[in-house]
C-alpha cells in the first residue's frame, strides 16, 4: 500500500462528553464492531472490563474511573481507526485538552435527557479553537429524553455550532421508538434487546410509508414524525460537507450506545464523512501528511504505567511520512539525533511492539527522560518545529509539601517528573523557601493522582492544603517595570507566586478580585496562561 493509501484510510479522533453521557459505552460498542473486543461489557461486568481495556493506574481501579487518556486502534470497513480516549470523570486534567491536539476530528456524546453539560462545553471549546470537524451522538434514546428539536436548538445556542440531524427520533413526549434515517430515507425501530447490548443487534427496518410500521408506532406518532421532518426540511440546516470540514456544522446522530441502537450506522457515516489525517502548521510552513519525510510530535507523557517496570512512555502523533522501528530522527528541542527503539502501539487490550506506523497513528516510545510535551521529531533531512502547544489555565490550587522533610529530595524529583508530564503546573510562593510548592491543575482529581503517585513511585507522603483560589493570572507591567508583591497594588488580596520561569503570577478567588486589581493597577496586563502561550 502506498503512503497516500495508508493515510486516506486513517481516522484519528477523540470522544468528548460530560461524565455519564455514555462515552465508555460508546467506545466499547465501536470496538465491538471493529472486532477488537468480542463481547462489549454488559452493564454488570462493565466496570471490570473497562479496566482491562483502558485503565492502567491503581487509583483508576479503586475509583472506577479512567484517569489517563489511552489509545485504542481497530479496523473497520477498510479504515484504520485510532480512538484517543479522554478521561470521563468530573475533574479532568490538561492531558484531556492535549489529547485534542492530536486528533483530526471529535465525537461529542450528549445524554438525550440532559443535553449540553458543563464539561462538554469546555472540551468543545478546545475542538472549536482547532476548527476540527465535530460529530454529535445524542445517546440514551432508549429511555426518556428531551424533545429532539429542543436538543438541536440547545447545541446551536449553547455551543454556537449548527447541527444537522442525520437521523431523527420517532416518538412523542420523549418516549422514543426508533429513528428516521434521513440519509437512507427509512425508518429504523428498536428491536427487543435480549442480550443487554452485549452483541451486535439488528433493528427493524421499514420503508418511510410502510403500513406495518405505521401500525406499530401508531398513527399519531407517525403524523408527528411527518410534521417534524417537514419542519427540518423547510427550516432546518442543509447538509454542507465544507461546513462540516470547517467545524461549523455538526452531523448529529440519535442513538443508544447501551442497546447498540444506531451505533453501527453512526460508525459507518462517521467514517465516510470524517477527515483523514490533516496537514499541520510548522515553522517551515504547512506539513502535508503525504510528505515522504517523517515527522511527529509528543502530546502526552506518562510514567510508570506498568508497575512491574518503571517505564516512561512518550506518546507521539505521526504527522507525515512513515514511521519505522529503530529509525533515527531529529529531536527538535535537544537538536540531537535519536533512535526510536521499542515503539509500542495499543490494540484494545494489549500493547504491542510495532514495526511501522503512518500519519494519524499514535505510537508510544520508551522515554529515557528526553521528551517533553509538544516536542517535534522529524527526519534528519528535514528539520522543523510544529506550532507550539497551548497551555491551559489552571483552576484549582493547593500547597504541597513533604510530610517528612528528610524526603525533600525525592519529593522534588517526583514533583519535577509530574510537572514535566504536564500533570500539574508548579509555582513557588515568594519568600517561602523551597520547602513547599503551590501546585495548579485544571481539576481536583489531579491532586489525588499527585498524592498517590508521589507515594507509590517516590515513597513520599505529602501534605496537601487546598487553597481557595480559582483564578490564576500571569502579570506584566506595560512599561516593563518588574511586577513584585511591593509594586502590585492589592497583591495581598490574592497569593503572589512565581512560575518555573520566574514569571510573576497572582492567584485570586474570583473575577471580582480580579476586577479590583485591574482597576487599581492601570499599567498592568494579565493573561490566563503564560504570556505568548495563550489558547
Ligand atoms: P461515561 O464514560 O461518559 O462516563 O459514561 P458510561 O459509558 O460509563 O455510561 C454512564 C451510564 O450510562 C452507565 O450506567 C451506562 O450503562 C449508561 N448508559 C450508557 N449508554 C446508555 C444508553 O444508550 N441508554 C441507557 N439507558 N443508559 C446508557 P451506570 O449504571 O452508571 O453504569 P454501570 O453501573 O453500568 O457502570
Instruction: Write out the chain's pLDDT in tens, 535 residues.
Output: 899 999 999 999 999 998 889 988 898 888 888 775 544 333 233 444 444 334 444 444 444 334 344 677 888 999 999 988 776 555 556 777 888 999 999 999 999 999 999 889 988 988 998 899 999 999 999 888 899 999 999 999 999 999 999 999 998 877 888 999 999 999 999 876 566 555 555 678 999 999 999 999 999 999 999 999 999 999 888 999 999 999 999 999 999 998 888 898 999 999 999 999 999 999 999 999 999 999 999 988 776 555 555 567 788 999 999 999 889 999 998 899 998 877 766 544 455 677 889 999 988 888 777 888 889 999 999 999 998 877 778 889 999 999 998 898 999 999 988 887 777 899 998 866 666 799 998 877 778 878 888 988 899 999 999 999 999 999 999 999 999 999 999 999 999 999 988 899 999 998 899 999 999 999 999 998 887 543 3
- Rounded to the nearest angstrom, the distance between the alpha carbon of 261 and the centre of ligand 1 is 14
Sequence-distant (6+) residues with CB within 8 A of 77 are 268, 271
The Cβ-side half-sphere exposure at 369, using a 13 Å CA radius, reads 4
Cα dihedral: 113, 114, 120, 124 (round 10): 70
- Rounded to the nearest angstrom, the distance between the alpha carbon of 177 and the centre of ligand 1 is 20
3-class DSSP state for residue 314? strand
Residue with CA at minimum distance from ligand 1 atom 26: 140
- Rounded to the nearest angstrom, the distance between the alpha carbon of 20 and the centre of ligand 1 is 6
Distance between CA atoms of residues 63 and 299, nearest Å: 26
Atom of ligand 1 nearest to the CA of 255: 23
pLDDT of residue 201: 58
- Rounded to the nearest angstrom, the distance between the alpha carbon of 57 and the centre of ligand 1 is 22
- Rounded to the nearest angstrom, the distance between the alpha carbon of 256 and the centre of ligand 1 is 10
CB of 79 closer than 8 Å to CB of 9: yes
pLDDT of residue 37: 52
pLDDT of residue 278: 95
3-class DSSP state for residue 227? helix
Residue with CA at minimum distance from ligand 1 atom 35: 43
- Rounded to the nearest angstrom, the distance between the alpha carbon of 109 and the centre of ligand 1 is 12
Atom of ligand 1 nearest to the CA of 17: 3
Distance between CA atoms of residues 519 and 516, nearest Å: 5
Atom of ligand 1 nearest to the CA of 19: 4
Pocket lined around ligand 1, Cβ cut-off 6 Å = 17, 19-25, 43, 46-47, 88, 139-140, 142-143, 256-259
- Rounded to the nearest angstrom, the distance between the alpha carbon of 77 and the centre of ligand 1 is 27
Cell numbers placing 205: 427496518
| Alpha helix ranges (H) inside 422-510 | 445-458
Distance between CA atoms of residues 341 and 446, nearest Å: 31
Tell me which of 25, 55, 190, 264 to substitute to probe ligand 1's pocket, judged by most ligand atoms within 8 Å of the beta carbon.
25
Atom of ligand 1 nearest to the CA of 257: 23
CB of 358 closer than 8 Å to CB of 7: yes
Amino acid at each position: 500500500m502506498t503512503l497516500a493509501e495508508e493515510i486516506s484510510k486513517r481516522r484519528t479522533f477523540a470522544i468528548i462528553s460530560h461524565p455519564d453521557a455514555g462515552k465508555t459505552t460508546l467506545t466499547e460498542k465501536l470496538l465491538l464492531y471493529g472486532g477488537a473486543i468480542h463481547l462489549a461489557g454488559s452493564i454488570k461486568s462493565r466496570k471490570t472490563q473497562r479496566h482491562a481495556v483502558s485503565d492502567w493506574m491503581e487509583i483508576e481501579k479503586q475509583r472506577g474511573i479512567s484517569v489517563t487518556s489511552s489509545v485504542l486502534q481497530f479496523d473497520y470497513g477498510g479504515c484504520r481507526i485510532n480512538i484517543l480516549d479522554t478521561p470521563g470523570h468530573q475533574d479532568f486534567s490538561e492531558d484531556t485538552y492535549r489529547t485534542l491536539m492530536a486528533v483530526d476530528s471529535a465525537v461529542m456524546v450528549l445524554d438525550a435527557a440532559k443535553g449540553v453539560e458543563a464539561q462538554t462545553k469546555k472540551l468543545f471549546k478546545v475542538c472549536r479553537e482547532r476548527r476540527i470537524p465535530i460529530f454529535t451522538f445524542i445517546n440514551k434514546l432508549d429511555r426518556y429524553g428531551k424533545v429532539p428539536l429542543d436538543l438541536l436548538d440547545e447545541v446551536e445556542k449553547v455551543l454556537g455550532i449548527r447541527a444537522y440531524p442525520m437521523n431523527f427520533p420517532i416518538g412523542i413526549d420523549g418516549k422514543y421508538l426508533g429513528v428516521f434515517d434521513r440519509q437512507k430515507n427509512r425508518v429504523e425501530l428498536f428491536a427487543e434487546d435480549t442480550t443487554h447490548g452485549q452483541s451486535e443487534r439488528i433493528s427493524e427496518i421499514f420503508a418511510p410509508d410502510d403500513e406495518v410500521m405505521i401500525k406499530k408506532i401508531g398513527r399519531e406518532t407517525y403524523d408527528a414524525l411527518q410534521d417534524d421532518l417537514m419542519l427540518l426540511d423547510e427550516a432546518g440546516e442543509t447538509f454542507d460537507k465544507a461546513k462540516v470540514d470547517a467545524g461549523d456544522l455538526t452531523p448529529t446522530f440519535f442513538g443508544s450506545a447501551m442497546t447498540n441502537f444506531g451505533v453501527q450506522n453512526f460508525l459507518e457515516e462517521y467514517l465516510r464523512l470524517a477527515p483523514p489525517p490533516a496537514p499541520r502548521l510548522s515553522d517551515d510552513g504547512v506539513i502535508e501528511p503525504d510528505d515522504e519525510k517523517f515527522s511527529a510530535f509528543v502530546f502526552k507523557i506518562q510514567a510508570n504505567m506498568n508497575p512491574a517496570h518503571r517505564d516512561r512512555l512518550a506518546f507521539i502523533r505521526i504527522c507525515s511520512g512513515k514511521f519505522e522501528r529503530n529509525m533515527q530522527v531529529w529531536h527538535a528541542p535537544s537538536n540531537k539525533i535519536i533512535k526510536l527503539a521499542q515503539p509500542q502501539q495499543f490494540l484494545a487490550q494489549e500493547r504491542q511492539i510495532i514495526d511501522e506506523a503512518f500519519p494519524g497513528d499514535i505510537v508510544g516510545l520508551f522515554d529515557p527522560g528526553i521528551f517533553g510535551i509538544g516536542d517535534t521529531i522529524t527526519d534528519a533531512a528535514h528539520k522543523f518545529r510544529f506550532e507550539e502547544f497551548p497551555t491551559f489555565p489552571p483552576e484549582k490550587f493547593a500547597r504541597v509539601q513533604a510530610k517528612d522533610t528528610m524526603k525533600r529530595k525525592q519529593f522534588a524529583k517526583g514533583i519535577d517528573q509530574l510537572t514535566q508530564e504536564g500533570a500539574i503546573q508548579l509555582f513557588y510562593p515568594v519568600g517561602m523557601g523551597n520547602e513547599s510548592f503551590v501546585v495548579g491543575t485544571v481539576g481536583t482529581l489531579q491532586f489525588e493522582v499527585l498524592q498517590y503517585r508521589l507515594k507509590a513511585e517516590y515513597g513520599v507522603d505529602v501534605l496537601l492544603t487546598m487553597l481557595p483560589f480559582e483564578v490564576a493570572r500571569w502579570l506584566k507591567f506595560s512599561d516593563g517595570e518588574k511586577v513584585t508583591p511591593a509594586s502590585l497594588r492589592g497583591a495581598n488580596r490574592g497569593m503572589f507566586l512565581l512560575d518555573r520561569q520566574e514569571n510573576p503570577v497572582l492567584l485570586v478567588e474570583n473575577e471580582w478580585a480580579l476586577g479590583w486589581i485591574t482597576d487599581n493597577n492601570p499599567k498592568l496586563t494579565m493573561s490566563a496562561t503564560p504570556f505568548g502561550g495563550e489558547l
